[in-house]
Structure 1
Amino acid sequence: MVDYHIRLDGVTKTFGALRVVDNLRLDIVRGEFLSLLGPSGSGKTTILMMLAGFQDATEGTIYVDGHMINDIPSHRRNMGVVFQSYALFPHMTVAQNVAFPLKMRGVGRAEIAARVNRALDMVQLAALSERRPAQLSGGQQQRVALARALVFEPGVVLMDEPLGALDKQLREQMQLDIRELHGRLGLTIVFVTHDQSEALTMSDRIAVFNKGLIEQIDTPRMIYDHPATRFVAEFIGETNLMEGEIAGREGGEALIRLDSGDMLRVRDRAEFDAGRRVLATVRPEKVELSEAPAAINSIPVAVTDSIYQGDHLRVQLQGPGQRLVARRDRRAAEWTPGAKINATFAPEDCWVIVP
């Protein structure tokens, strides 16, 4: 039996005539790391604020451990919250910042000292307990904010773009640190981000939001390899989209006649009938380039540019009525712009979605 920790049942949030979250139904499993991913204005931060109790739901019910919490004030919800801005008190030391939630809860002095030490050990900052926030790096300040969110041993930790202000290298290290901490402590974490790579790196599941609605919720691998909609395919990483229609099925594969006239064989989607307009999507790293055409899924293209991007080459292509992108090993020979070649890919590397 699935142990749901949090349930949002028909939750809607409006600001005047603006519907920011629309009849959301979402179950969050105990101990999972769920990322709410989407562009600005998609409703993900509003959901976090309603979970934290900083905003009220216009309609619907929020449950934690089977109990409705709509009317419970934020300080009684037993949820740790980490913001992008850190929100540390500049006049307090690291230890005092971390101790603050415990003091507000009336915890005794000896217990506070023990819990603060444990929390700072978890984020590897015990040696800096007497420093003030201004004496810390951005990454260290974020660790203090995380320790403060964990010190009162919450059942849930909510994170709102917590790594957005860090530089790339530090952000990537903090992603791994938070992922390791989550696995070690078994926390339920709800993480808001607009960074696709961050969500893919850290999450057990990802809920992709668009205009207050979930477009798709699944594991990172399924979200990336099997996008449910055009929005998800284009928002998660980079992809090639080719328009056409289902021409039939053969040998467990769907046949797609592209608008260019080329025929593709792709992983079968039995729910799509012949004649249905579809999009075939294939990721750039799955596209192979060769001078000779392949027996299946071979599209004649011309190279328009080849861009060195450190760990790979990004090859831009012009096909019949459409542009494609391929990602090649950085050590591969670069094609000269204007070269006539063929872009090919395996049927199992292609997926079909509705336009």
Structure 2
Amino acid sequence: MAAFIELRDVAKSFGPLKVVEGLNLDVAKGEFLSLLGPSGSGKTTILMMLAGFEDATSGEIVLDGQRLNDLPPHRRGMGVVFQNYALFPHMSVAENVAFPLQMRGVAKAEVQRRVTEALARVHLEHLAERRPSQLSGGQQQRVALTRALVFEPKVILMDEPLGALDKQLREAMQLEIRDLHRRLGLTIVFVTHDQSEALTISDRIAIFDKGKIAQIGTASEVYDRPRNRFVSQFIGETNLLEGRIDGAADGQTVQIVVEGGRRIVAAAPTVPTGADIVVSVRPERICLTPAPGFDNILDAEVEDVVYQGDHLRFHLACGSLRLVARAERSAESWPVGTRLPIAFRAEDCSVFSA
């Protein structure tokens, strides 16, 4: 698929501090791309460079074949939604939504028509005359999103727009934004530090670490096949086992000696034999009632059981190894001190260099 947004060797420094380094990134038209990473990883700076609120120190930013570096924000055709909504408190909902159209010289009758249609699309037409202070957080978020959409921009940029909402409303708004994206065919670049949010709404996720992309891919690619230790720990929960490759078990798998001298079998990585490696195994991939056919079976003792509502987390000791397994609530009959076999498959192990 052809790139709609292109960032080529983009870097940003604030004095001696390098915030973004050598960034190359393509976004397809109609794609929902999330920039995910911890605070200070450069993701918001990237969004601000796309919007034109920050200048790139070097590199090139292109939208639909047009170089953006020298264009001011209002000529880039991008709508921006901020975490604090940035609504004008002295204006009504309708006036807030009308503002970007008025700034672009749209005729008064056309402004009224488009504002009415835009508010109806997000079910806020009955609140058109209210001020932002009279709205809930979720309603303010929808007004901010509508204001960004009303002038039909080429791209929507969102900087942690759901960060101020409570959990239930946040999850509802995630689905609402995803639905708008699909119905309107929007191109969205979405900044978040919330892993579950990125997994829920994105076509692809770019995971950032210290100004660089640690991994980019679909939700299943970055979760099930992390490329390095940072990604495996940052997105979701995982068990990390340090060890070394001790030879190939067959053409598809390798033998690995991990802490405590135990041997496990994992899918063959691109790491050479004898190299120090890290094996990542997700808690939900560890089976507490193994049937025949598992590549790895270990004896374990239950050290703790944590109730989490829809599931249980088992803290397990396998000699000197400490693992966490996730299981359905029906497993609650295994109390602390129970000894049991646990198992996981070679294909459920991600292996990367230490």
> What interval of TM-score do these two structures reach, taking the shorter chain for normalisation?
over 0.9
Q: Distance in 1 between matches of 2:294 and 2:317?
A: 20
What is the match of residue 338 of structure 1? Answer: 337
Q: Percent identity?
A: 60
Describe how 1:160-171 pairs up with structure 2 within 5 A: 160-171=159-170
Q: Distance in 2 between matches of 1:184 and 1:295?
A: 43
Q: CA deviation at 1:334?
A: 3.7
Extract structure 1 runs of 4+ deviating beyond 3 A.
Answer: 290-296
Structure 1 residues 258, 129: CA separation in 2 closer, same or farther (over 3 Å shift)?
same
Q: Distance in 2 between matches of 1:295 and 1:287?
A: 10
What is the match of residue 152 of structure 1? Answer: 151
Describe how 1:211-226 pairs up with structure 2 within 5 A: 211-226=210-225
Q: Note the residue ranges of structure 2 that are not aligned, 5 or more in a row.
A: none
Q: Distance in 2 between matches of 1:296 and 1:204?
A: 32
What is the match of residue 44 of structure 2? Answer: 45
Q: Which amino acid aligns with 1:276?
A: A
Q: Distance in 2 between matches of 1:62 and 1:74?
A: 13
Q: CA deviation at 1:294?
A: 8.0
Q: Is the 8 A contact 1:292 1:341 kept in 2?
A: no
Q: Distance in 2 between matches of 1:52 and 1:143?
A: 20
Q: Is the 8 A contact 1:6 1:63 kept in 2?
A: yes
Q: Distance in 1 between matches of 2:73 and 2:275?
A: 49
Q: CA deviation at 1:101?
A: 0.5
User: What SS class does the counterpart of residue 335 from structure 2 fall into?
Assistant: coil
What is the match of residue 87 of structure 1? Answer: 86
Q: Distance in 2 between matches of 1:183 and 1:292?
A: 42
Q: CA deviation at 1:336?
A: 2.1
Describe how 1:23-42 pairs up with structure 2 within 5 A: 23-42=22-41
Q: Distance in 1 between matches of 2:12 and 2:340?
A: 52
CA RMSD of aligned residues (A): 1.5
Structure 1 residues 173, 11: CA separation in 2 closer, same or farther (over 3 Å shift)?
same
What is the match of residue 174 of structure 1? Answer: 173
What is the match of residue 266 of structure 2? Answer: 266
Q: Which moved more, 1:259-268 or 1:61-70?
A: 259-268
Structure 1 residues 76, 292: CA separation in 2 closer, same or farther (over 3 Å shift)?
closer
User: What SS class does the counterpart of residue 86 from structure 1 fall into?
Assistant: coil
Q: Deviations over 1:317-337 (max 9, x none)?
A: 123333210001012234222
Q: Distance in 2 between matches of 1:133 and 1:225?
A: 42
What is the match of residue 135 of structure 1? Answer: 134
Q: Is the 8 A contact 2:36 2:205 kept in 1?
A: yes
What is the match of residue 96 of structure 1? Answer: 95
Q: Which amino acid aligns with 1:85?
A: N
User: What SS class does the counterpart of residue 331 from structure 2 fall into?
Assistant: coil
Instruction: Compute the TM-score of the two structures, normalised by the length of structure 1.
Output: 0.96
What is the match of residue 15 of structure 2? Answer: 16
Q: Distance in 2 between matches of 1:11 and 1:122?
A: 36
Instruction: Compute the TM-score of the two structures, normalised by the length of structure 2.
Output: 0.96
User: What SS class does the counterpart of residue 85 from structure 1 fall into?
Assistant: coil
